[in-house]
Copies of this chain bind each other. A is one copy, B any other.
Amino acid sequence: MNYQKIINDIYKIVSKENNSGSLASYIPELSKIDAEKFGICLTTTDSQEFHIGDSCEKFSIQSIAKIFSLIMAYRHIGDVIWERVGVEPSGTSFNSLVQLESDKGIPRNPFINSGALVICDILISHLTNPKEDFLKFMNTISNNTAINFSKKTVHSEKSVGYRNIALCNYIKSYGNIENEPKIVLDLYFNICSIKMNCKELAKACLFLANNGKTLSIQEKILNSSQTKRINAIMQTCGFYDESGEFSFKVGLPGKSGVGGGIIAIHPNKYSIAVWSPKLNAKGNSYRGMKFLELLTTRLQSSIF
């Protein structure tokens, strides 16, 4: 398979098209990004790497980081994690608070904000130094010590994070947050602030395409069954209320972030990171969605 040629071709096609959507506006850090940035990196389970564009420039991965915190927590406490958070798609963003009410404080899945907050709470309860441990974990899965939090982004988020504060306290009122909301939110904002480039991101997620093993040091991050389950959750819940659309058009498990990044996994084949900051109405990278749709169409290969 000539991945490089295919990637180049699609990159050219998408670059020529109109770049729709708009930058995330709610935090200053994200609204100042160059909207024309566009990078791709695809890494295969047989150790090849193909990239193009701004693939070496770091960006704020935002909600993509929720994969990593989920996996850390899953490693630590195993399947009891699912007593604190569900695995169902949430329907619409509109419903998140209503659902918390009818579900008595159990978030629908670990990728909506409420669910990611509960995951942070779990990490705090089980780790001595959650922030350091998180960076160590990122180092382990990506064999890369250059991944770090962005203090500026954390500060930016905190200054406008009233809705997340509301969510965290609301879940606390149902007893599904054990620690002080302040501490939980601090970890949450830090995790969402990390910056990575497409190459780092594709590499960090490759174990999800490799039955749970990192390629570099063959360390088992998750067992095969756990890996499949993480992929399954990404498939049904990874793109907010556009998860069905992504599944329909791209046909791969994946996760997006409001920084314009998307990671997608083809089990046993490859992981791919795409970055383009302009977001569609549902908050997912416009060009990122487009690129991946064309990719799986051209490759005639999705999980379906």
Contacts and interface: CB of A to CB of B under 8 A. Distances in A.
A160 to B, nearest CB: 8
A136 interface: no
Contact of A166 (B167, B300, B303): B167
Could you say which of A89, A94, A167, A237 has the most chain B C-beta atoms within 10 Å of its C-beta?
A89
Main secondary structure on chain A at its contact with chain B? helix
A169 interface: yes
A69 interface: no
24 contacts: A87-B247, A88-B243, A90-B91, A91-B91, A91-B108, A92-B99, A97-B97, A97-B101, A98-B98, A162-B169, A165-B165, A165-B169, A166-B166, A166-B167, A166-B170, A224-B300, A228-B251, A229-B251, A232-B302, A233-B244, A233-B248, A235-B235, A236-B243, A236-B247
Interface residues of A, number: 54
A120 B166 CA distance: 18
A225 B297 CA distance: 8
Contacts of A86: 244
Interface of A: 86-92, 94-95, 97-99, 101-102, 108-109, 162-163, 165-170, 172-173, 181, 224-225, 227-229, 231-233, 235-237, 241-245, 247-249, 251, 253, 267, 297, 300, 302-304
